[in-house]
Amino acid sequence: MTERICVVSGRRCVWVTSTVDGADHAMTDEAMAAGLAAKCGVFLALCSASVVAAPMIAPPGQRCVRCQAFAYPQPAPHVAPAQRRRAGWLSGWRRG
């Protein structure tokens, strides 16, 4: 079973299957509360998609790639600094 709860910037998120596109979208508790308060059944996901929640018995769908990027950001790859050449009369000298 995949993890259904994640934390983004200190806020708890839950993955919800959308009936619109069949994908699982991540949304904060605040977005869930706002959707429930509006009484229209539409919730705003981390990727800014409008989600109409599928019934709880519906199996999970594929996770939204954009929500996944927000929920589990990848660290920037480390780039090694370029090796500097020495200036001067020994710069062209090589050991033999």
Least Cα distance to 14 among 58, 57, 60 occurs for 60
7 vs 44, higher pLDDT:
44
Q: Which residues pair with 15 in a beta bridge?
A: 26
**Does pTM top 0.75 for this prediction?**
no
The pLDDT tens digits of the residues spanning 16-47 come to: 999 999 999 999 989 999 999 999 889 999 99
**Element housing 3 (H / E):** none
